[in-house]
Structure 1
Amino acid sequence: MISILIAASVGLLVSILLTPYLIRVFAKQGFGQEIREEGPQGHRSKRGTPTMGGVAIIVAMVVGYFTAHLLRFALADGGVPSASGLVVLYLAVGLGVVGFLDDFIKIRKQRNLGLNKTSKLVGQLVIAVSFAILAINFADDNGLTPASLQLSYVRDLALITFPVPVFIIFCYLLISAWSNAVNFTDGLDGLAGGASAMVLGTYVVISFWQARLSCTPVPQDACYHVRDPLDLAVVAAAATGACIGFLWWNAAPAKIFMGDTGSLALGGLVAGLSVTTRTELLAIVIGGLFVVEMVSVVIQIAVFRTTRRRLFRMAPFHHHFELAGWAETTVIIRFWLLAGICCMFGLGLFYSEQLSVVGG
């Protein structure tokens, strides 16, 4: 528990102190956000706001995680990072690098499009495939690897077991979906950062819960077959603190944007935690806001290509309400409430499943 608190505190402190430094540096270098011409007119005033603030989130997360381990090592209480924690960090940082390149190209070429589709696809593919391969290796003494080849809800579903090649494809699709979902949500000041903090905070609770109910001495049917759940809680806590610290500067009116650097990293983090905690299906509920934002884009494209009409005034979904006359801060706060409801509902499902197993 102390490691979780240390990781969250250090992540928060590093993020809240590093972000204003990045604001000054990026502003001096002219690393300003380009705004889509077809976007809401009210967003034109945001042009030039420093971007790539996701660097602060990634650095704070990594520093928070390793600081917690260094302090444990200094206290002679273990302190060795786990395979599960490291592969999830690798996924988040790797996608953050892809996002950074995308942001940097946007800035250098003064346009709202960075990496071309092929380059971005290849970058995500390499990171996702390598994560999947790493995640099914490094078994512990109990034979548990960071990821399972079985599809999971709260526990592995024995009826659905993927062959290794199919699992790798599944991981790629999952990681691509979550990273793009968070990217779509990052369209209003603080919206993605606040929602991500809630989702990651939920994973702190879930991972800690799993650590308390790891197989021994609880009944076998009630235990969670997850490798390194406590270390995953440390990763999630460091990222939660990093998001909250960044939100201090990213809340409306934003002084800096996270850019693709942050949104791709956070999406990868959600995907990685869902795989390593065996909650791929439950994550759809916990990250329900991100899912709705992504689905709104898919539906908008499908309807327009079919009927040449737009179902929403603009996609992603948050822009629909902006164009309907809602103030930006109103949209943000109400979407935060929706994100919180999804997280609480997801926790409720997690807890009710545990009760049903114990009661059964």
Structure 2
Amino acid sequence: MMMLYLNFIFIFFISIGMQYGLLVLCRYFKLYQPIYGLSPKTHQLKADTPSLGGVGILLSLWCAWLFYGMHIFSNTIFWIMLVVTLFSLLGMLDDGFSLLRRHNQGLSSKQKFLLQLILSLILIGFYAYLFGELSFWSICLYSFVMVGSSNATNLTDGLDGLLVSCSMITLCGFFFVGNSEIQYFSIMVSLVLFGFFLFNRYPAKLFMGDSGSLGIGALFAAMAISMENVWILIPLGAVYILETVSVILQVIYFKWKRKRIFLMTPLHHHFELLGLSEVRIVQLFSILSFLCLMVIVVF
């Protein structure tokens, strides 16, 4: 048991060391986050914040698994790690184009969606190869969940500490409903994210970028798929779903009535423009995530 606790401590410090090293490199090479021009004015002050924290999350996760998580080396965890890696690499590609163009948009929305869809179909096909055939409708459902989850977390990553805070709570939910290897894996990922949180909390010194947000969403989808319970993402991912629905409703209503429902989407920007601070919004969204977690635990 003592060795297990030591492993967890080492994982946490690996994450801190990885993020610190990445922060130094990003500042040295001036790899800063391009800020969306229509973002709230407070976001323009963040233009000099490095945005490759997702790379540190991925590297920390692999180090943690290879050095301290080999006793959960199974086809299930291997497949989950593969999902996280490929979606994180897609995010890195998007972040890379953003940095090269000095613009907040790297890949276009259509390009990103197409690549997500292709990746999800390949990964679901590999899942079927490892664990047995899937029906056509299962393939469609799992692909939809993977693409939807990665986009939802990507939309949520808009305030300092928001996505990483909610993600750690989501992982607590997987800990309560998963088997022993999912439980250990959830703790491992949570510790990696907590190491990143120390750099991402307000005022953020480091952003995770698409390399982190796409990977985290795909991670949740992969864990739910491996448990054969994708519906668990509805309560566990309530915050991400709300953020996504706010964007969809805003677009549909604007095209229909030429008016907006929200001051700005995703939803966290609406609350920003109402005058709430970033810290307060993160607290409110984290409380909502925690209440949804309690639903899972109690029921």
TM-score per shorter chain, which class?
Answer: over 0.9
Q: Does 1:45 align with 2:45?
A: yes
State how far apart, in whole Å, the 1-side matches of 2:2 and 2:130 are.
Answer: 26
Q: What residue number does 1:264 align with? A: 214
Name which of 320, 328, 346 aligns with 2:270.
320
Distance 1:2 1:178, change over 3 A: farther
- 1:333 is displaced (CA, Å) by 1.2
Q: Does 1:134 align with 2:126?
A: yes
State how far apart, in whole Å, the 2-side matches of 1:237 and 1:99 are.
Answer: 24
Matches within 5 A, 1:1-360: 8-70=8-70, 79=71, 81-139=73-131, 149=134, 163=135, 165-207=136-178, 211=179, 230-349=180-299
State how far apart, in whole Å, the 1-side matches of 2:2 and 2:215 are.
Answer: 25
State how far apart, in whole Å, the 1-side matches of 2:44 and 2:96 are.
Answer: 20
Contact 1:11 1:239 in 2 (8 A): no
Query: Which AA in structure 2 matches 1:191?
Result: L
State how far apart, in whole Å, the 2-side matches of 1:80 and 1:236 are.
Answer: 12
Query: Which AA in structure 2 matches 1:174?
Result: V
State how far apart, in whole Å, the 2-side matches of 1:5 and 1:297 are.
Answer: 42
SS at match of 1:101: helix
What is the number of equivalent residue pairs in this alignment? 299
Q: Structure 1 stretch 320-329 or stretch 234-243: which is displaced more?
A: 234-243
Decide which structure has greater helix share: 2
> 1:238-290: CA deviations, max 9, x gaps?
21111111000100000000000000000000000111112211211011111
RMSD: 1.9
SS at match of 2:130: coil
- 1:2 is displaced (CA, Å) by 7.8
Consecutive aligned runs of 4 or more in structure 1 exceeding 3 Å deviation: 1-11
Distance 1:302 1:254, change over 3 A: same
Contact 1:7 1:238 in 2 (8 A): no
- 1:122 is displaced (CA, Å) by 3.3
Q: Structure 1 stretch 3-12 or stretch 332-341: which is displaced more?
A: 3-12
State how far apart, in whole Å, the 1-side matches of 2:111 and 2:95 are.
Answer: 13
TM-score (norm 2): 0.94
- 1:18 is displaced (CA, Å) by 1.1
- 1:137 is displaced (CA, Å) by 2.9
Distance 1:168 1:335, change over 3 A: same
Percentage identity across paired residues of the two chains: 27
Query: Which AA in structure 2 matches 1:178?
Result: S
Q: Structure 1 stretch 324-333 or stretch 258-267: which is displaced more?
A: 324-333
Which runs of no fewer than 5 residues in structure 1 stay unpaired? 71-78, 140-144, 150-162, 212-229, 350-360
State how far apart, in whole Å, the 1-side matches of 2:199 and 2:13 are.
Answer: 13
Distance 1:332 1:18, change over 3 A: same
Contact 1:6 1:68 in 2 (8 A): no
* Larger gyration radius, structure 1 or structure 2: 1
- 1:124 is displaced (CA, Å) by 1.3
State how far apart, in whole Å, the 2-side matches of 1:85 and 1:6 are.
Answer: 21
State how far apart, in whole Å, the 1-side matches of 2:149 and 2:7 are.
Answer: 24
Which runs of no fewer than 5 residues in structure 2 stay unpaired? none
Query: Which AA in structure 1 matches 2:78?
Result: L
- 1:7 is displaced (CA, Å) by 6.0
